[in-house]
Amino acid sequence: MGKIVTSSYRRVSDHFEPDLVEDPAEQKKRRGHLEQIDYTVFAANQAVIAKTIHHVGIEDFQNLALSSSKARSAWVDAAMSAARSRSPMSAEEVARLQLLRSAYEELSEAYEAMRRMVERGYLQFHKSLPNKG
């Protein structure tokens, strides 16, 4: 199994990878089936995502990046404040740090997911969205 590395975590691919030496005709047939499966998944993702998000523009990426940056800043600032106090953290302070970190991680993952959706062609990217006025 191959490993896929993303910016924030590692995951193991669950695709079957046979160690067989087989007939070239069988290999070609299998590749055809896999391409058909991949296209079916692509079409399903594209259809579902297009109904929900429709399209994104540079402003959407900027907004999500800014939200992620603000969340990271709030998390680190809270951690620094806790460290400056030099006293043990209370359960409430720990819970707040966990909440802030979780918000940052979720926003960051959403940004990466939106980028992958554009990269894979599931979601249309428009350089700028039409004015809504």
> What pTM does this model have?
0.70
Q: Using an 8 Å Cβ cutoff, are 122 and 47 in contact?
A: no
- Nearest alpha carbon to residue 131 among 61, 62, 53, 59: 59
Q: How many domains does the chain have?
A: 1
User: By percentage, how much of the chain surpasses pLDDT 90?
Assistant: 68
Q: Which domain holds residue 103?
A: 53-126
Strand partners for 55: 124
Instruction: Decide if 79 is inside a domain.
Output: yes
Instruction: Decide if 40 is inside a domain.
Output: no
Instruction: Decide if 100 is inside a domain.
Output: yes
The yes-or-no verdict on residue 9 having pLDDT over 60 is no
pLDDT (tens digit per residue) in 33-79: 999 999 999 999 999 998 999 899 999 999 999 999 999 999 999 99
Give the contacts of 62 (CB within 8 A, at least 6 positions apart).
none
How far is it, in rounded angstroms, from Cα 107 to Cα 64? 7
Instruction: Decide if 121 is inside a domain.
Output: yes
Over range 66-95, report the average pLDDT: 95
Instruction: Decide if 1 is inside a domain.
Output: no
